[in-house]
């Protein structure tokens, strides 16, 4: 049997993926985003791949919400990003039908499709947590591209000033759910795999 953990699942997720976060954060694509030096074509590719992933993630989350009543408190649909990605992509006249998944996205989509609710929440955690750093990226991009504010960067800054509070709420709601020890283990593993897939995807986009 897996030993019972007394710390909250969010502390476990943070500690269990700290090394992966350091890797993800140091990727050249992320640096280009933070500096606002990313070109439009690469940024569009980044948004396009994220769109494929979030579309799948949110469809799977809708399913999980009907299958597992424990998730209701998280109010997940208010955090969804597919529509924001579609708004951002529309600025570049993107034909979404033509978007093909790159390997990192394909792998993640397959994981999402077969994920039980706890595994899904491990994947969800990575994207929800990424909104914290993404807010800084949105500000840098807006500045670099001569925009007065971050409204054209809905994916990177979906909640504006509400970001901090929403993240704190997500954390406490996740910690309040009675996940079993096995589920917590699966969740941490899924979060690690998700970070790895995103880092690999970042590299593919950056190389392209």
Among 21, 147, 159, 169, binds ligand HEM (CB under 6 A): 21
Shortest distance, position 178 Cβ to ligand HEM, whole Å: 20
x/- mask, ligand HEM, residues 57-96, rule CB under 6 A, reads ----------------------------------------
Q: Rounded to 5 degrees, what are φ and ψ at 154?
A: -65, -35
**In the complex, what is the shortest distance from the CB of residue 1 to ligand HEM, in angstroms, rounded to a whole number?**
26
Q: Does 56 bind ligand HEM (CB under 6 A)?
A: no
d(C-alpha 176, C-alpha 8), whole Å:
8
Q: Greatest CA span in the chain, whole angstroms?
A: 56
Closest CB 169 distance from ligand HEM, rounded Å: 13
Q: Which of residues 188-207 bind ligand HEM (CB under 6 A)?
A: 195, 198
Give the three-class secondary structure for 34: helix
Q: Which is nearer to ligand HEM, 74 or 126 (CB)?
A: 126
Judged by CB under 6 A, how many residues of this single chain contact ligand HEM? 16
Q: Which of residues 96-155 bind ligand HEM (CB under 6 A)?
A: 125-126, 129-130, 132-133, 136
Span interacting with ligand HEM, options 23-31, 45-53, 82-90, 92-100, rule CB under 6 A? 23-31
* Torsion 100-106-112-113 (CA) sign: positive
Helices (runs of H) and strands (runs of E) counted in the chain: 9, 0
Q: List C-alpha distances in Å: 138 to 88, 155, 157, 161.
A: 12, 9, 6, 13
CA 78 to mean position of chain CA atoms:
14
Which residues, other chains included, contact 43 with Cβ-Cβ below 8 Å and sequence gap of 6+? 33, 141
Closer Cβ to ligand HEM, 77 or 165, answer by number? 165
Interacting residues toward ligand HEM by CB under 6 A: 13-14, 21, 24-25, 30, 34, 125-126, 129-130, 132-133, 136, 195, 198
């Amino acid at each position: 049997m897996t030993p019972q953990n007394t710390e909250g699942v969010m502390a476990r997720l943070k500690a269990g993926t700290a090394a992966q976060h350091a890797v993800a954060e140091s990727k050249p694509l992320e640096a280009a985003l933070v500096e606002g030096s990313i070109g439009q074509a690469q940024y569009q590719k980044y948004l396009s791949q994220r769109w494929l992933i979030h579309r799948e993630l949110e469809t799977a989350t809708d399913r999980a919400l009907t299958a597992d009543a424990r998730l209701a408190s998280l109010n997940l649909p208010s955090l969804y990003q597919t529509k924001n990605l579609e708004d951002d992509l529309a600025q570049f006249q993107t034909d979404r039908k033509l978007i093909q998944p790159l390997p990192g996205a394909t792998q993640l989509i397959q994981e999402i499709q077969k994920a039980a609710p706890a595994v899904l929440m491990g994947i969800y955690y990575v994207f929800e947590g990424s909104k914290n750093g993404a807010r800084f990226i949105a500000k840098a991009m807006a500045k670099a591209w001569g925009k007065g504010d971050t409204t054209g960067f809905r994916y990177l800054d979906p909640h504006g000033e509400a970001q901090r509070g929403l993240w704190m709420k997500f954390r406490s709601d996740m910690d309040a759910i009675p996940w079993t020890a096995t589920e917590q283990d699966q969740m941490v593993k899924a979060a690690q795999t998700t970070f790895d897939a995103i880092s690999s995807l970042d590299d593919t986009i950056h190389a392209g």
